[in-house]
Amino acid sequence: MNNPAIPTNAATELLAFESGGPVLLHSLESLARWAARVPLARGADGYLLPFGMVGDVAVVSVDGPLMQRGGYYYPGYDGIADQVCAALSDVRTTAVVMKINSPGGEVAGCFEAVRVMREAAARAGKPLVAYADEMALSGGYALACAASSIFLPPLGQLGSVGAMSVLRDRTKMNEEIGLKVVVIRSGPFKAEGHPDLPITDDAVTREQAVIDRMARTFAEHVSTARGLGADKVLALGADVLWGPDAVAARLADDVCTFTECLARAAALGMKTTAARAANATRKTMDEFAKKALSALGTDNPDEALGRLSAWKDSHERLPAVSAELATLRSAAEATTEAQRAAKAKVDREAVVAEGERTMKVTPAEAAQIRAGEGWLGGQSTEQLRAMVAERRPLADLAAPQPKVGKIAVPTTPGAPAGEVTLSAREIEIARQMGNDPDEVLATKRANLGLPPVR
């Protein structure tokens, strides 16, 4: 019967409220009135959204008697909750208004839908506002209590906080028309309240207990939403309150037009948006402070500030300290370079002195090396050391040879007997040292006591 794809007669659905058990409904006579809807908005894909948009404020229209699942004519609590949740989660909305024109409806699903909407508003951090246009009674008022603010026009109606049920007895009518009905049941309480069974005092008492329990649950729900005691809500006697009277009883926050309600919702949205941004900034700063304290190695803010101040002073002195360190480093490098140069000079002089001592370097060669002149003067200390290590002492050239006369005169192979010449090795050494072979030969003859060649 409640499949929205299959149109049904409104009178048929009215029977559901008459015979369907306890309801959050003001009266059966108030079922046929509801208001015009706010035009629905369209999403980016072009499809209709389950809510309308007025600026940044989403509007969900709740029109007519209410059912748990909804019907062709009447909205369902679950569908209303889905619409409100969708509006709250939409990034374009800053606030949501439920525009309610309903006398109430079924008990089933009502308070669960209210809980879902209230939690969704808390998660979204957006204000949910209710407006009676112009009737939010019984189950309709229960839905309004999901909102943080409730408004209504001067002649709007709120309240009827209670529950009702109808028991009918058709037994006398059946008897008059000659209709015999037998209700088959498994126990004395089964089918209690069936219209073809007599209504007993016990049945009325038990049904009254059910209604009282539902009314108490409803009153506690209103008490939580509006900050009223449940007994004070029940003391209203499920009365319907108009405009200012509803505000005086604290069932509503103010009397205003729907346009003014939208403006107030927009203002609340802006306020909560700013509060969310401030809260996000505060959370970010708190997280930054925790990280900063951790980096400073302390959980004491005063101690952390002291360390930061000390580091700031150090940072300000850093350029002067860096310049001083650079000066000291340059001086140290200059000293080290001078020390290296002095050591290199000492090492080079030691090589030359060793060459002179071992007669592997002539005085003329030593002078060239010390002056840095000629081929020898351009050699590195290591090259000179290798040369001195490989050379034979010049005195060896005049050493007596075995089985030779009084004056051993070394000869060069192929030279005439008794003629003093330079060997191939001596010529090579002379050239390596940049000496004239003729001068070396003259020195050699002089060392042998021979007259110079004329």
Residues 39-82 have pLDDT tens digits of: 666 666 666 678 989 999 999 999 989 999 877 777 899 999 99
Per the listing, tokens 């008059």 go with 176
Which residues does 296 contact at the CB level (< 8 Å), separation at least 6?
Answer: 303, 304, 307, 308
Rounded (5°) CA angle 60-150-278: 85
Higher pLDDT, 328 or 149: 149
Q: Is the per-residue pLDDT at 428 higher than 70? A: yes
The pLDDT value recorded for residue 94 is: 95
The pairs formed by 361-365 with CB atoms below 8 angstroms and a separation of 24 or more are 361/388, 361/391, 362/394, 362/433, 362/435, 362/443, 364/435, 365/433, 365/434, 365/435
**Percent of all residues in the chain with a pLDDT value above 70, rounded to a whole number:** 81
Report the pLDDT averaged over residues 156-164: 94
The pLDDT value recorded for residue 290 is: 78
Higher pLDDT, 395 or 384: 384
The pLDDT value recorded for residue 218 is: 95
Bridge partners, 260 (sequence order): none
The pLDDT value recorded for residue 284 is: 65
Q: Is the per-residue pLDDT at 417 higher than 50? A: no
Under the banding of pLDDT at 50, 70 and 90, the label for residue 142 is: very high
Task: Give the HSE-up count for residue 120: Cα atoms under 13 Å, Cβ half-sphere.
Answer: 22
pTM greater than 0.75 (yes/no): no
Torsion on CA atoms 417, 419, 423, 426, rounded to nearest 10 = 160
Rounded to whole angstroms, how far apart are CA atoms 422 and 410? 9
Rounded to whole angstroms, how far apart are CA atoms 195 and 290? 71
Q: Is the per-residue pLDDT at 399 higher than 80? A: no
Using alpha carbons, select from 247, 219, 249 the residue that is nearest to residue 152: 247
Tokens of 176: 């008059």
Rounded to whole angstroms, how far apart are CA atoms 173 and 155? 42
Report the pLDDT averaged over residues 314-322: 78
Higher pLDDT, 81 or 21: 81
Q: What is the CATH number of domain 10-166+202-273?
A: 3.90.226.10
Rounded to whole angstroms, how far apart are CA atoms 235 and 442? 145
Higher pLDDT, 297 or 81: 81
Rounded to whole angstroms, how far apart are CA atoms 37 and 42? 15
Of 142-146, 274-278, 447-451, the range with the lowest mean pLDDT is 274-278
The pLDDT value recorded for residue 422 is: 80
The pLDDT value recorded for residue 11 is: 41
Using alpha carbons, select from 48, 79, 47 the residue that is nearest to residue 63: 79
Tokens of 415: 């030279």
Report the pLDDT averaged over residues 111-121: 96
Using alpha carbons, select from 248, 167, 176, 181 the residue that is nearest to residue 211: 167
Bridge partners, 60 (sequence order): 98
Higher pLDDT, 404 or 60: 60
The pLDDT value recorded for residue 46 is: 67
Bridge partners, 159 (sequence order): 137, 240
Which ranges of 48-200 does DSSP label H, i.e. alpha helix?
Answer: 77-89, 110-124, 139-144, 171-176
**Percent of all residues in the chain with a pLDDT value above 90, rounded to a whole number:** 43
Which range is most confident: 135-139, 340-344, 372-376?
Answer: 135-139
The pLDDT value recorded for residue 451 is: 78
Q: Is the per-residue pLDDT at 7 higher than 50? A: no
Between helix 110-124 and helix 77-89 the angle, nearest 10°, is 0
pLDDT digit string, tens, across residues 84-112: 999 999 999 999 999 999 999 999 999 99
Using DSSP, state whether 354 is helix, strand or coil. Answer: helix
Task: Look at phi and psi of residue 243 and say left if phi exceeds 0, alpha if psi is from -120 to 50, else beta.
Answer: left
Rounded to whole angstroms, how far apart are CA atoms 445 and 17? 147
Amino acid residing at 51: F
Residue ranges of the chain assigned to CATH 3.90.226.10: 10-166+202-273
